[in-house]
């Protein structure tokens, strides 16, 4: 597997973006057709297109929420294994998500720093010296 770093860790699901764009174009085309034709069929097609765009958007939101819950559970187990239960309870959700990239050797110091300085996720990621890649994101 390739290595990850701060510069290469972002994940942009190209296939989802393409599908969302296609659905958005379908909604725009359906609006144009419904305004121009003003028929029942045109309005039903518009409703279906809006419903499809909404479904695609909600699916992405739901997948990201599940992924965040899995990351939270993973970090709870990992931090408990390292004796960092108190730190876990003091970290914000977004801080935990950023900390998942830190190696076991540096997570304790970085977690304490994140709590003490109230570091935002981006600063936490920039502070990581030994990057632990996450190759299973959605």
pLDDT greater than 80 at residue 138: no
What does 59-84 look like in DSSP terms, one character per residue?
HHHHHHHHHHHHHHHHHHHHHHHTT-
pLDDT digits (tens, 9 = 90+) for 52-67: 999 999 999 999 999 9
Segments making up each domain of the chain, as ranges: 12-70, 82-133
Q: What DSSP state is assigned to residue 138? A: -
pLDDT digits (tens, 9 = 90+) for 17-30: 999 999 999 999 99
pLDDT digits (tens, 9 = 90+) for 66-122: 999 999 999 999 999 999 999 999 999 999 999 999 999 999 999 999 999 999 999
pLDDT greater than 70 at residue 1: no
pTM of the model: 0.82
């Amino acid at each position: 597997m390739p290595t990850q770093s701060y510069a290469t860790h972002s994940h942009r699901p190209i296939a989802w973006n393409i599908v969302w764009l296609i659905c958005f174009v379908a909604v725009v085309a359906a609006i144009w057709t419904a305004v121009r034709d003003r028929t029942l069929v045109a309005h039903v097609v518009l409703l279906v297109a809006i419903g499809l765009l909404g479904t695609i958007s909600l699916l992405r939101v739901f997948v990201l929420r599940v992924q965040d819950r899995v990351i939270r559970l993973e970090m709870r187990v990992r931090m408990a294994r390292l004796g960092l239960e108190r730190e876990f309870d003091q970290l914000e959700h977004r801080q935990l998500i950023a900390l998942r990239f830190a190696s076991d050797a540096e997570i304790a110091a970085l977690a304490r720093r994140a709590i003490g300085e109230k570091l935002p996720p981006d600063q936490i990621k920039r502070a990581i010296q030994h990057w632990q890649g996450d190759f299973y994101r959605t």
